[in-house]
Amino acid sequence: MTSGDWPVRWIRERLGYEPRDASLFVAALTHRSASGQNNERLEFLGDAVLNLAVARHLYEAFPEASEGDLSRLRARVVSGEPLAEVAAGIGLGDELQLGSGELKTGGFRRQSILADALEAVCGAVFLDGGLDAAERVIRKLFEPRIAALPAPETLKDAKTRLQEYLQSRGYALPRYTVDRIEGEAHAQTFQVTCDVSEIGRQAQGRGSSRRRAEQEAAERILLEIETH
């Protein structure tokens, strides 16, 4: 991990980018638990660069998507879990410089550390080569995920989709009723009925919160609508 041309070879092979200032990438791959300059400032910058690049890619890839749809799609790409998965896929964890405590506890596999380091690397590319270079790297890393995204409308939660379905047809909004609350206060289960009287549909949902129960009930109504 600390061979003579680290991390230039890794950046070149995994990102397809030729670094000019290797020290930027050394910092990007150095966690705050290690000695020396760490990646926190680059992470801050890289977060903005990554969001801009992905937003532009989504804007081009989904020309009919609304602002809300684009925001939901972006969250699918740049939230902690997908960032960590992309980072793991390019072997970023193996390149991280961590303090002894993080090494002992497997910090190189921790989702938050991987996601933050990937953002820092994006920030380093931006400082080293400019926005065009950063966008090329980010597209290379995220294009398969963006290509695999579902249709924007399916990202809306069930209650929103049901509401939009009914409003588009001039129907009244659904009515949600809590039928039962079971269990102790710290571990309750809610049962809710969703009633759409104008189309003769009713369904029950259960969940650990009222909102989750309502979402399940709405999802069941939508399933009935789609299959009949």
Residue type, 196: V
Q: Let me know how long the chain is.
A: 228
Concerning whether 18 is annotated as a catalytic residue, the answer is no
The C-alpha atoms of residue 98 and residue 116 are separated, in whole angstroms, by 13
The C-alpha atoms of residue 226 and residue 205 are separated, in whole angstroms, by 18
Q: Which of 43, 47, 95, 116 is catalytic?
A: 47
The C-alpha atoms of residue 5 and residue 18 are separated, in whole angstroms, by 12
> By three-state DSSP, how is residue 151 classified?
coil
Concerning whether 119 is annotated as a catalytic residue, the answer is yes
The C-alpha atoms of residue 171 and residue 156 are separated, in whole angstroms, by 19
Those residues with Cβ within 8 angstroms of residue 55's Cβ, 6 or more apart along the chain or in another chain: 70, 74
Whether the CB-CB separation of 165 and 80 falls below 8 Å is answered with: no
Q: Which of 69, 95, 119, 219 is catalytic?
A: 119
Cα within 13 Å of Cα(169), Cβ side: 11
Closest CA to 146 of 57, 53, 14: 57
**Residues involved in catalysis:** 47, 119
